[in-house]
Structure 1
Amino acid sequence: MRRIYPDIQDNPDIAQAYAYPGDRPWLRVNMVASTDGAAWLKGRSRGLSSKGDRRIFQTLRGLSDVIVAGAATVRTEGYGPVPPRDWWAELREGRPEVPPIAVVTRSLGFDLDAELFTDAPSRTIVITCESAPHERRKAAARHCDLIVAGDDEVDLPLAMAELHQRGLTKVLCEGGPRVNAQLSACRLIDELCLSISPMLVGGGAARILNGEPARVSLDLSQVLEEEGVLFCTYTREQSR
């Protein structure tokens, strides 16, 4: 892997390249897309991924305090508990050995007996709203940390504030496109890490944002490259 912007460097330190700023809470979105903008291939992101993308994916997880994902992504991508990794020890010094996963869901429409909710090394967080079925909320609370944010829909600014109050300020969002769009509409995204796969997909795949319009100006801060895959980092100017 090499960095090609803002300077040229072979074999950059990936953890250093993606270090969180230390002076404030920070929400980072990590996604992969084809060259024509598709966020998945045959319904899943794995077909767009590469060795370099998976290496960065794991590094970003190791750097984070919490991993946020929408319920549809958790179901489609087959999320399980985050496994501990020996090489994370330095990245996670003073923190739990793995970050918890926080699942955003309005309906709680998934299997609460799955391993993600019953056997995660760091207790899974479920973020829902008041309109979620009461019995499902009670079931979720037995296995998970429950955050109720909003009335009919999940209030994402309130949910992020609740995570911050728990000391989870280095937030990594892994999508999917609908959650990304909602976060963008609320001006909550500080950084986008986008892996661009050299592939044309076409068809009806969603883009990395799929929802209400949200025009947010970004600055390109870094580009890495490996085997034709571009790893772009964009940041949002806080004054915008």
Structure 2
Amino acid sequence: MSDSPSIDRIWPDPESGLDDTAVLALTAFPSDRTWLRVNFISSIDGAATRHGLSGGLGDDADHRLFALLRRAADVVLVGAGTLRDEGYGGLRVDDASIAWRTDAGMPPHPVLATISRSLSLDPASSLFADAPVRPIVYTVASAPDDRRDALSVVADVVTVGETDADLVRVREDLAARGLHRIHSEGGPHLFGELLAAGAVDALHLTLAPTVDSGDAGRIARGPVAPRSARLASVLRSGEELLLHYLL
């Protein structure tokens, strides 16, 4: 679209003014296996949030990529804390994404999945009431029974551990449901746990051209052994970099 922020590919094979089709091709899920990718934004000094929210760091190009990454996903996986902090409602994609998904033989909207050990989620919230597809809530056996019963009315509640959620089991359950294209939007604790479980295949990282200082956290938290990554592509919009890594 003419009013969309311009995104250029600077590596590999430089090209200016990528349209949505080109961006989707660069960020496509593999067609032959389950794939879990994570999407984050960070300032150049490592801040994952501004005023406590990741949305404060992004500009129009980051928002465009954010929407396109959701477009091709079977399921969007988000930690319960991020759902609350970032004010998620029912997960719906835009009209262009609905048309693209329908043409590709996909349901109009991706499924929303979250992980909550305490099940401290309001079943009457718009997260569930406005959801076009029944969400999935992964939890543990020790979660309160009353909260489990209440959420079971509006979501599929799945136990994936006794006191700690097994992220490999989450990934396997999604795949068993036919949800092989898994797109995670954080937060940092979930990303750290996914890394520790060896469950992450790729990272899409927007590098915002700001130095934020302060006490903001990083994009991954927790005791994680260092992992190497391979750079798959570098996009740019103005001074902002859109990086794609394979883990």
| Cα offset, 1:51, TM superposition | 0.5
Note if 1:10 corresponds to 2:16.
yes
| Cα offset, 1:119, TM superposition | 2.7
Q: How does 1:178-217 map to 2 (within 5 A)?
A: 178-217=189-228
TM-score (norm 2): 0.93
Deviation string for 1:194-223 (max 9, x for gaps)?
000000111211100011123111000100
Worse-superposed segment, 62-71 or 117-126: 117-126
SS at match of 1:196: strand
| Cα offset, 1:188, TM superposition | 0.7
SS at match of 2:100: coil
Deviation string for 1:149-196 (max 9, x for gaps)?
011011110111011000001000000000000000111110000000
Q: Could you tell me how far apart the structure 2 residues matched to 1:45 and 1:76 are?
A: 9
Q: Could you tell me how far apart the structure 2 residues matched to 1:108 and 1:214 are?
A: 29
Residue in structure 2 matched with residue 40 of structure 1 by the alignment: 49
Residue in structure 2 matched with residue 177 of structure 1 by the alignment: 188
Residue in structure 1 matched with residue 28 of structure 2 by the alignment: 19
Q: Could you tell me how far apart the structure 2 residues matched to 1:22 and 1:40 are?
A: 33
Q: Could you tell me how far apart the structure 1 residues matched to 2:215 and 2:122 are?
A: 28
Q: Structure 1: which 5+ residue stretches go unaligned?
A: none
Q: How does 1:226-237 map to 2 (within 5 A)?
A: 226-236=237-247
Q: Structure 2: which 5+ residue stretches go unaligned?
A: 1-6
* Contact kept in structure 2, 1:2 and 1:225, CA below 8 Å: yes
| Cα offset, 1:112, TM superposition | 1.7
Match for 1:65: what amino acid? D
Residue in structure 2 matched with residue 54 of structure 1 by the alignment: 63
Note if 1:90 corresponds to 2:108.
no
Q: Could you tell me how far apart the structure 2 residues matched to 1:16 and 1:188 are?
A: 23
Match for 1:185: what amino acid? A
| Cα offset, 1:118, TM superposition | 2.4
Match for 1:171: what amino acid? I
Q: Could you tell me how far apart the structure 1 residues matched to 2:214 and 2:193 are?
A: 23
| Cα offset, 1:91, TM superposition | 3.5
Note if 1:63 corresponds to 2:72.
yes
Match for 1:44: what amino acid? L
TM-score (norm 1): 0.96
* Contact kept in structure 1, 2:70 and 2:76, CA below 8 Å: yes
Deviation string for 1:81-105 (max 9, x for gaps)?
1224221122452221010111111
Note if 1:29 corresponds to 2:33.
no
Q: % of aligned pairs identical?
A: 39
Q: Could you tell me how far apart the structure 1 residues matched to 2:12 and 2:93 are?
A: 33
Q: Could you tell me how far apart the structure 1 residues matched to 2:189 and 2:213 are?
A: 19
